[in-house]
Amino acid sequence: MSSASSLEVEDLRTEFVLRDRVLRVVDDVSFTVEPGQALAIVGESGSGKSVAMRSVMRLLPKTGRVAGGQARLGGTDLLGLSERQMRKVRGRDIGMVFQNAMEALNPTLTLERQLTEHLLWHGICDRAEAKRRAVETLGDVGIPEPEKRIRTYPFQLSGGMRQRAMIAMAMVTQPSVLIADEPTTAVDVTVQRQLLDLLARLKARGTGVIMITHDLGVARYFCDDAIVMYAGRVVEHSPIRPLLAHPAHPYTSGLFSSTLEVGARQRALRPIPGSPPDLAHRPPGCAFHPRCDRAEERCGQEDQPLLPWSGNGSDLVPGTVAETGRPTDERTDDRADERTGRREVACWKAVQHG
């Protein structure tokens, strides 16, 4: 596979088969990540962000199964590969930074073994070159004295260092696509900034990045496009800046209202009332209707497909997205963003009334 392949996910559907029922956790999710572009995935806890990415990586728990769709990397459908073929893709063509750092690291092996074996296993280079690359990558992720630290075990590292080591694992092979699941939540602001700079360098070299994040400041700073997930579905898809400035879907507005600052002063956060649905009893029609302050009768009756949208959206942003240590200088004007990529929303009311 070339080092500049786009990842195209189409109608991805993932289910968990439980004893007495089947839960559809990811439902017809589609998006594309081009080389050198970054996609943010946002949504409340439990909306299916991690499961969607694990489906693409084919790393689901035993009870999980991909029930439909495609995930094409440079034209190859990953969902159709054998496990053996997929093992070659994983780590070499797509790297993943997991929500839980320890998941990616083997506690019984030194960083040197893990990083070099990874390169050797994929046949990327010989042992001497693998060692050189491993040290270089540890240095790149901000691990001090990488020649020394490379001989340590994961448990000897602090949380922040472990997070960096995991990112090193994901990027040592220079994959076409890097999936980062909340890569900056467990680290302080300084480390966060370093990691974002690092990801920005990868992006500049042509790596496509998917970033799952609750941090809209990170998304705004780093990502080009975003999808917003609710109850396993994409409810809004847009270039990031217009999305943050003028969300179209009532759920997106609610999500952002609960995580924004206005100017320098912290506004009282307004959590969305209610809680996400139990997927075993998904509300009919628009799954958000029991919580939506704009809901009308038809919302509970009609499924809401993603439709093109060119309205005005909510005027939600008189201030800035929560400060998280990155520049917020270049304020956007958002509808004029030259990345006028299509905006899509799954809400008839937004489509009809803007």
275 vs 340 by CB, closer to ligand SF4:
275
Residue 100 or 310: the one with the smaller Cβ distance to ligand ATP is: 100
Q: Give the chain's end-to-end CA distance (angstroms, integer).
A: 42
φ/ψ region of 306 (left if φ > 0, alpha if ψ in -120 to 50, else beta) reads beta
292 in contact with ligand SF4 (CB under 6 A): yes
Long-range contacts of 56-62 (CB under 8 A, 24+ apart): 56/7, 56/9, 56/12, 56/94, 56/179, 57/90, 57/94, 57/96, 57/179, 58/83, 58/86, 58/90, 59/90, 59/96, 60/14, 61/16
**Residue bearing tokens 């939506």:** 292
Q: Residue 314 binds what, of ligand ATP, Mg ion, ligand SF4, none (CB under 5 to 8 Å, by partner type)?
A: none
Select the residue interacting with Mg ion from 50, 207, 213, 238 (CB under 5 A): 50
Total length of the chain: 354
CB 30 within 8 A of CB 11: yes
- Structural contact between residues 224 and 39, judged by C-beta atoms closer than 8 angstroms: yes
Binding piece for Mg ion, criterion CB under 5 A, among 50-58, 68-76, 221-229, 263-271 = 50-58
- Which of the choices ligand SF4, Mg ion, ligand ATP, none does residue 63 contact, using the CB cut-off of 5 to 8 A by kind? ligand ATP
Judged by CB under 6 A, the residue of 295, 316, 319, 341 near ligand SF4 is: 295
163 in contact with Mg ion (CB under 5 A): no
CB of 268 to ligand SF4, least distance (A): 23
Show Cβ contacts of residue 341 under 8 Å, excluding neighbours closer than 6 positions.
Answer: 225, 238, 239
User: Among ligand ATP, Mg ion, ligand SF4, none, what binds residue 288 when CB lies within 5 to 8 Å by partner kind?
Assistant: ligand SF4
Which residues in this chain contact ligand SF4 in the complex, by CB under 6 A?
249-250, 286, 288-289, 292, 294-295, 299, 304, 347-349
Which residues in this chain contact Mg ion in the complex, by CB under 5 A?
50
Which residues in this chain contact ligand ATP in the complex, by CB under 6 A?
16, 23, 25, 43, 45-51, 61, 63, 99, 279
